[in-house]
Each structure stands twice: as structure tokens, then as C-alpha cells.
Structure 1
């Protein structure tokens, strides 16, 4: 199988970043809806957009379950509580099996429709944390990790391919070390015992 080595490691890192956002551990924009503050869409578009989104999230959950992770169903707004699943299953966010499942199901993970939950702009401080995070990832074995755009969003196009075992190990190490940086904290330490192969 052909792959794009310059982009593969970044793709997995970006995927895990979305997982972390869904778990509420980073200031990144949420990957799934939260029911707190949806926008006020028109009556004609809201139900169909919400229905399509919830259905897409159900398909994503079904894929994760086929990959061996019994994540909960989405709620009425499409939110999937990955944090609760990880706590109950007693696996870390960087579990290799869970990351592999996320990667396998990535094409089914829908983004929140703008009419349901418009993204809040990142603050200048959050943007700086994201830039520091990108540098940290590059400095710790992920040389193709991209910088965020001026709006704080991570580039989503051009990623693909499979990680080699060495790239996967580098990815897990960098994520552990750099995860605190997204919250403005110092870099963490790598603890191989926290990476559970599943």
C-alpha cells in the first residue's frame, strides 16, 4: 500500500487532537456538539441538519464499536462522551488501539454543522498555545506537524497513509510530552507505561 510519509504522522496526531478536544482536555474547538449553546438556525434547516449530524455520529460510534471500543451512543445533539468511555475502560487517551480505531473510523466522524454550533474564535493566547504545541510536536519526533492557521484551526487536507511502527511510537511519545502545552503548561514527561497496546 502506498502512503504519504510526510503527512501520515501529522494525520494521526491531528486525529488524536480531535479526540482530546472531544474529551474536553484541550482548548481546541470541539469535535462533537455540546448541547449548551447551539445557534438559532432557521426552522427549515435545523431539524434536518441535526438529524443528519446525529445519524453520522451514530455511524461513527458503530465503527468504533466494530474496532473493539464500546463508546456510548451520541446524545440528542450528537455529542459522544469519549472521556467517560476512556475513564470507564481505564485506558489512556494515547492507547495505541484506541488511536488506531479513531484513524480507521475518521472518515465517519462528522463535524458539527455550523448552523447548530458555530465555532468560537480562539483567543490570541489559545493561538499562541497551539503554535507552541505544533513546535513541541515537531521537536519531539513529528517533523511534519503543521502550525495552526491564523484562525487557530488545524489544516485538515492533504493527510493520509498509514504510520509505521516507529512513526506510531514517535507519535505517542510526542502526544504525551506536548499535551499539557495546549493548556499553557510546561511540557510533560514521556512514560511508556501509559501507552497500552490494544
Structure 2
């Protein structure tokens, strides 16, 4: 009886097992109801690699952005000279490259960064750049081309950068 059971059950079991362990010839390889799912070929990129791709894309779009800056565990996006770049070109490049920009960081240090960004925006408006926007809660402050072309922009930026640097230094914990 046991031998008959094995003879009847073993071939279908082997057939099902072998079919489950093979790859599809079309390379899709992921089951879905409508057939739209595709396997991911890339692993998650580090924050540095994400910012590097973003910088490369921005350069491809005509914005001379530097590679990301790394200081210990802190990774910042590359920079460009806002005074020498057409802000319309920057806005178009940011839109074209947005899929490469990593998501906004979260954590305790972000509260300080958010506060400094709010103070910077307020300072810029107080120093004559009336259209300088409040910071974007989901990422970097998006300024339109009219902001960088404001005649007060360069002087206000110099003043506000210095004020924010001083405030930032006073709020950071002192090294022990």
C-alpha cells in the first residue's frame, strides 16, 4: 500500500517542485494578478550614492553642482554657486532630477535644521528679498528665478548666511 501511494504521489510532487524552482524564460519572474510586477535589479543605494546620482544628473542638466559632502555620518547634497546660475535652469534641472534626490532625513538634528531654514527665510525677507519663500517641509526650499534676480539678493544672502552660521554655532553642543 505504501509503495503504491509513493508511486502515485511522487511524480506529481516532483513535477510541481521542479516547476516552482525554475525561472521563466521571459525574465519577468514575479507573479502578479495583472502581470505588471517586475523584479528589482538594483539594491538600495547609500545616501552618498543617492546624492552622487543627483549631482551627476544636475550637471547633465547644465547646473555645475559639486559632488555630495560627507562629514562623519552627515551627508549633504552637492552645491552650486547660486549667483552664477540661471535659476530657471536650476528649477528645470531639479524637476528633471527629482527621482534621484534622496528622501528627506528625519531625526533629532532635523528640528535644528528646520529652525535655521525658517530663520534664514525670514532674514532674507527682512533684508529686502520679499519673495523669498518659507522652507519646504518635505525638502529644500524651492526658490523661483525671480528670487535670485532680486537686486537685494546677493547682499541679503551674505548677511543672512553670516547670521545663520553664528546662530548655528551657538546652538551646537560644545565638544567635550
- Mark yes or no: TM-score above 0.5: no
**Structure of greater Rg:** 2
TM-score, normalisation: structure 2 = 0.43
More relative contact order, 1 or 2 (CA 8 Å, 6+ apart)? 1
